[in-house]
Amino acid sequence: MAGDEWNSLEQKVDELIELCTVLTKENRALRAQQQNWTTERAKLIEKNELAKSRVEAMITRLKALEND
């Protein structure tokens, strides 16, 4: 292999290493974001269930008052 070919190969390897580093950082950021969304979703589901139970309780009380 000539010197130019080695330099070209070395440059390509360096670019691949740099790309891997960038992709690794992006991957970590996306995983953290996904975890945040998952946590937020769980909290929203919990709030929704609480609101649903409260509404159901209100409806039950209203029906009880209606029957009196």
| pLDDT > 90? residue 4 | no
Domain that holds residue 58: 25-68
Q: How many separate domains does the chain show?
A: 1
Residue 54 lies in a domain: yes
Per-residue confidence at 2, pLDDT binned at 50, 70, 90? confident
Q: What's the CA gap between 13 and 50, in Å, rounded?
A: 55
Question: Is residue 6, in this structure, part of any structural domain at all?
Answer: no
Residue 11 lies in a domain: no
Q: Is residue 64 part of a domain?
A: yes
Residue 38 falls within a domain, yes or no?
yes
For the stretch 6-48, pLDDT in tens is 999 999 999 999 999 999 999 999 999 999 999 999 999 999 9
pLDDT > 70? residue 1: no
**Sequence-ordered list of residues with C-beta below 8 angstroms from that of 9, at least 6 positions apart, any chain:** 1
